[in-house]
Amino acid sequence: MWIETVGTVGVGLVVLAIWYRKRLEKSFGVHDVTDEIDVHGKVVLITGGNSGLGKECATEMAKRGAVVIIASRDAKLSLQVIQEIQTKIPSANITFMYLDLSSLDSIRNFSEEFQKKFDHINILINNAGVYCPLKRRMKTKDGFEFNFGVNHLGHFLLTNLLLETVKRGSPSRIVVVASTLSEKGRINFDDLLLEKEDPDKSKIHAYGNSKLANIVFAKELSERLVGSGVNVYALCPGWVKTDLARYMQLRWWNYFLIVPAAFLFMRSPGQGVQTILHCALSKKTEDCTGNLYKNCADWNTKSQITGEMAEKLWEASEHLILKSSTKKRME
């Protein structure tokens, strides 16, 4: 009898979970493909375009006839992805260029090589990202805390180096992929690189910090580009099935919590890319520079972002990059 009871309860829970999942998916948001700008022949640069959201975005842009550039540090995977996309879409105009966002030198080299090949960018999608626990003690090649260095400083430098190229493609768009985990972050200007934190004891959400920096950067960039013909957007794609957490060291028992949660809340790359497409392509966002989006709708973040904070982060980011570059030249 008890076996039958357990079985009945189990089946009931599964049915309930499936019902809840289907109900939740209705809130994910879907980009309106009937109301988007024409990107045929337009230059679209996607960082991290060889996997997850970036791969999905590259595929969608290729479908629309855009000239797609995948910027990544994994040449082998990128070329495999390009072959896969071109098999599905024979007309796809898609290429790979090497970029390591954990290296300032690589970013500068990429920018230089890119501008030799392309004189403008119509859509820049800052998609690449890492999620690395502070206790891993990982640093970028320039000695920055890994999350902040790759997710924020890497894209900060890349965007600034390509800014004139983006302006020449106007009306153009810069799309910054952030996260609602930014609401767990805080920007401490006395310790941006978390050097004062004990990695084993710290409660600081390093990834959240970097995503908050992404949003603050996008806000400030939009202010600086007013009247330039370049719109800037930041967004949360939701919790998406990607390799973002590849640097996490999960134990077997962690999966007892993660698997059920993933079944209920995790999105496929196809579902996650919708808000990226909304920001990059929708006519509805043409006059909405500086806005935040989630589920293809406005996102009112709980984070307190001020103009003073945004300007200060911009200056601090410039200082960190300049300081690192000066130090390297002196060595």
Spatial neighbors of 327 by CB under 8 A, at least 6 apart, are none
| CA pair distance 108, 278, nearest whole angstrom | 29
Count each helix (H run) and each strand (E run) in the chain, helices first.
Answer: 12, 8
Burial 61-84 (b: 16+ CB within 10 A, else e): bbebbbbbbbbbbbeeebeebbee
Alpha carbons 30 and 108: distance in angstroms, whole number: 36
> Residue 159 and residue 106: Cα distance in Å, rounded?
14
* Active-site residue, 247 included: no
Residue 307 CB neighbours (<10 A): 11
Q: Is 33 helix (H, G, I), strand (E, B) or coil?
A: coil
Would you state the structure tokens that stand for residue 11, as one six-digit string? 């089946």
Q: Which residue among 207, 247, 255, 293 is the active-site one?
A: 207
Residue type, 135: K
CB-based contact 65:91 (threshold 8 Å): yes
Between β-strands 297-298 and 292-294, what pairing exists: parallel, antiparallel or unpaired?
Answer: antiparallel
Closest among 223, 217, 115 to 157, alpha carbons compared: 217
Cα torsion angle, 251, 257, 260, 265, sign: negative
125 phi, psi to nearest 5 deg:
-115, 105
State the CB neighbour count (10 A cutoff) for residue 96: 20
User: Which of the residues are catalytic?
Assistant: 207
